[in-house]
Amino acid sequence: MGYPKIKYQHFTFKVETPSQEIIIDAETDKLYNTCTGINVLLTDENAKFSTLQLDMNGQEIFPENFEVLRLQFRQHVPFGFDYHSLKEPAGGSKLKGTYKDVAGALSYPYFVTFSLRLENLECTDTGKIS
Amino acid sequence: MHRHRKNFLAMKTIEQYYEPYNFSATRCYVFTLDIGVKGFLRIEHKLPAYVRNLKEIFVSVSPKNKRVGVDYMKASVPKTPIVAGFITLNFNGQSLKCFQCAVLQTLYLNDCSNPLPFNELINRNSFIQGFFIQNTTFIESRFSYRISIYLHYLP
């Protein structure tokens, strides 16, 4: 018995009103030591001008006013190329930040999903099941 | 024959062509500016001291507020470019590289993650100065927009 070599960890939030600010406070899976990719999925694509500020493990990855349009699912690319690259330490890292809706969605509520690709890049005993 | 071989060598592989941007390779600083309705914007922004080694740059345009955002989505807006223009940026007191690019149509584009390479060392206490000039007649006066300038730098 093992665990998958790559894990896609999702955090989904519900945006109920225009200009709503959502506090992100989450933790990555402890079994994986590196976050190698990110994708943001919106159930209403017109909300893509909303902004994201995200710290991972105390390190600011996306600053304030960073529009989620730059992190959306990459369309028109072959399957497997759609995640944006990251190389940040994971293994239970704290994810802290805010998602600010910049009203533009056709209807409310809509959902925003942050999808992280987690891997073990180097040999490690983290999460090893003997 | 030689020319064909050269073209062949210059071809990118699918991995190179669709290579996603690595957001961990650089850190990012973003500042936004309101275009307003005049179609011309003077840009002047003091860069923080930690932005020294500027590697890449990205410029996007987005609706400024709720009303605009909702209006834009309605069918009354023609499906033609709404904001088109170019941006000129000068660094280090205009003594070094000057940057010009067409503002991306991020209102329509869905894949706009990769910034443009820039590779410039910025002086301390430097200002970024320049202009945005709109060059389209499709814009309607009741719409106002915001430009976001993303500076990707090495920490």
Average pLDDT, chain B: 73
Chain B residues within 8 Å of chain A (Cβ atoms)? 14-15, 18-25, 27-32, 58, 60, 62-63, 65-66, 69-70, 72-73, 106, 110-113, 148, 150
The per-residue pLDDT for B76 is 43
The per-residue pLDDT for B131 is 80
Contacts of B20 (CB under 8 A, 6+ apart): A37, A74, A81, A82, A83, A84, A85, B113, B114
| Interface mutation vs chain B, best among A44, A70, A72, A118, most B CBs within 10 Å | A70
Using one digit for the tens of pLDDT, what is the confidence trace for B67-83? 444 444 444 444 444 55
3-state secondary structure of A56: strand
Using one digit for the tens of pLDDT, what is the confidence trace for B4-53? 555 555 677 877 778 888 999 999 999 998 877 677 788 888 889 899 89
Q: What ipTM does the predicted assembly reach? A: 0.85
- What's the whole-number mean pLDDT along residues A56-65? 92
| CB-nearest partner of B113 from A49, A61, A74 | A74
The per-residue pLDDT for B78 is 41
Distance between B27 CA and the closest CA of chain A, angstroms: 7
Q: Identify the DSSP state of A71.
A: G
Tokens 């011309």 -> residue: B40
- What's the whole-number mean pLDDT along residues B91-95? 66
Chain A residues within 8 Å of chain B (Cβ atoms)? 18-19, 37-38, 45-46, 49, 60-67, 69-72, 74-78, 81-88, 102-104, 106
Q: What residue ranges define each of the domains in chain B, with the CATH number in brackets? A: 21-154 (2.60.120)
Distance CA B67, CA B80 (A): 20
Where b means 16+ CB within 10 Å and e means fewer, B119-136 reads eeebeeebbbbbebebee
Distance between A27 CA and the closest CA of chain B, angstroms: 18
Q: What residue ranges define each of the domains in chain A, with the CATH number in brackets? A: 6-119 (2.60.120)
CB contact under 8 A, B113 and A70: yes
